[in-house]
Structures are given as C-alpha cells and as structure tokens.
Amino acid sequence: MLSRALRRSLALEVALYVALAIYGCDASPAAAAGVALAGVLALRATLTAVTYAWAWAYHSPAPPLSPGQAVRMVLGEYASCVLSFVLIFPFERWWMAPDRLSGGADQAAGRPGARPPVLLVHGYSCSRAAWWWLRRRLEAAGWRVATISLEPIYGSIDDFVEPLARRIAAVLAETGAERLLLVGHSMGGLVARDYLQRHGATRVERLVTLGTPHQGSRIAHIGLGENARQMQPDSAWLQALASPATVLDTRVIYSPHDNFVMPQERLLLPGATSQAIAGVGHLAMLYSPRVARALLAALAGTSNTGAA
C-alpha cells in the first residue's frame, strides 16, 4: 500500500538526517530535529527545482509569465509536493474518509435533473488521497464523488483497467445511475482512455483529464515501472492507445507551464476540447481553485473561459 511505503521511507529519511546531525555534527536532539525537518523540505525543493529546469529545457511555446507569477507557480508546486508526499499520501486514513455516494434526495437516480456520479482516477505514484482537496470542492458543488487507488503503483497501465472497470460497476450499482463521469489526473487520464478503448463508453458519459500526458513525456524516461515506460513519447503503448481514437465527449484541462509533462504540447489530445490554465504546476492542479472551476464547468458540459 502506497501510504505504508511512504511512511516507512519518510521515517528512514528522517532517521538518516537525525543520525547525521547527532553523530556527524554532535548536534543536540532539538537541533537534530530541526536538521531533519530542513532536510525533508530541502529534498522536495530540490526535486521541484529539477522538474522545472527539465521542463524549461524541453518547453513548448507558452504565454509568458511575469517574475511574480513564475515565483508563485514554483512555490505553489513545491507546497503541493510537500503537502501531498509528506502529509497527505503517507497518512491517507487521516485525510480521506470513505466515499460518500448516497448524496441527497435531489441526486437520486431517475429524478429530473439528477447528475451522474463522478469517479476520480489518480496519477502515477499516487493514490486516491491525491483527490483530498478537489473531492471536497466537487462535493460542495453537489456532485457524488467516488475514488479509486490503483496498485501496484509501478505496474502496467493495462493492469489498472479491470480494477477500474470493477469500480465503475460498483459505483453505478451503489448510486443507481446508468452512466458516470470519469476524471483522470496525469496517468489517470491514460488509464481512463485504456478502459474506454477496451470496454467502450456505454457506462461513461464524459471524460475529463487534468495534466494527462496524452502523447507521453520526456520525464517518463527516468520513471520506475512498466507504466513509466508506457508513458515515454512515441512508445508502442501510446501509439496503440491512439488507434482507434476514443469516441466520447472528452475535455482536456492542462497547464502550458506543466513541470512533469514535457514538451507541454504533449498534453493535448487530438479531437478533444482543450482548456489551458497558465501558471500552475502539475501537482498544484490538484489544489488549484482555477482548475477546480474549470473542472466543475467541464463536468457540467459547459465552458469556463475565465479559468485561465
């Protein structure tokens, strides 16, 4: 389970920093704790800086950002990295209650104007905890929201399809709906497309992707697992996924300044409706009010031109 693995790795990391401070620098326990905290934060800052440096080296043409906008974007992505991988993902049970699909009476299946449920599919090296903030925003807007954790995290994307199919069936059975809306962040959008190619769109009304590498990403070359190899640009897996194209209403929400999908033009999916939201990082999409507004509009089948 991802949360357990992250807790163990975080504990080992902290123990290493503390040991180096105490035995290497003769620091006091209090000082060692400060060194450990600084080390945890510094490592995530370094990783964020590396992704942006790489993204700039292979960037696609994008709207220019002012120095202030660029700084806010990078700091927002760094904060999202720390929040996700230090606080939320390792301690998922503290943050993520079970899915609440019953909804109110106005959402009952068969009622006039009833909305279909929404199923959120997380990205690479993540879990259902990735949706902690966005799930709350969707529920506050009246949507019934389901999540799924796909494991093993470094397995083949093809192996995630059947668990997704079972989750879709379970959500429809629990809500009484005939179809649902699929939302995928990053790799989750590819999992959803793989499902649609194998099972068709009879149970899905619309697909919305957030920061999905529809045409691959250069950063996948250093990723772990079969799923990373499948997300490499021009991989045989991506070419097979593109033919035949999915016949479904698909909305692509992406950032032209994404720091994980590069060149950023590979975020686009031919034939889909696309909306760019400038100045937001890949992980920060999961915590962005602008992305939330665009997602709510996409789920409702409307446009939200003010979100960019």
**Domain membership flag for residue 116:** yes
| pLDDT above 90 for 108 | no
* 68-100 pLDDT tens trace: 999 999 999 999 999 999 999 999 999 999 999
**Domain membership flag for residue 308:** no
More confident residue, 238 or 103: 238
| pLDDT above 50 for 296 | yes
Contact in structure between 101 and 171 (CB atoms under 8 Å): yes
**Domain membership flag for residue 230:** yes
**Domain membership flag for residue 49:** yes
How many C-alpha atoms does 89 have within 13 Å on its Cβ side?
25
* 21-77 pLDDT tens trace: 999 888 898 999 999 999 999 999 999 999 999 999 999 999 999 999 999 999 999
Q: Which domain holds residue 36?
A: 1-301
**Domain membership flag for residue 307:** no
* 120-171 pLDDT tens trace: 999 999 999 999 999 999 999 999 999 999 999 999 999 999 999 999 999 9
Q: How many domains does the chain have?
A: 1
Give the domain CATH number at 234.
3.40.50.1820
* pLDDT above 70 as % of the chain: 94
Average pLDDT for 170-176: 96
How far apart are the C-alpha atoms of 155 and 300, rounded to whole Å?
33
pLDDT at 105: 40
Lowest mean pLDDT of 80-89, 221-230, 243-252, 258-267, name the range: 243-252
pLDDT at 103: 56
| pLDDT above 60 for 232 | yes
* Token output for 180: 């649902």
**Domain membership flag for residue 306:** no
- Whether a cis peptide bond, with omega within 30° of 0, leads into 289 is no
Identity at 169, one-letter amino acid code: A
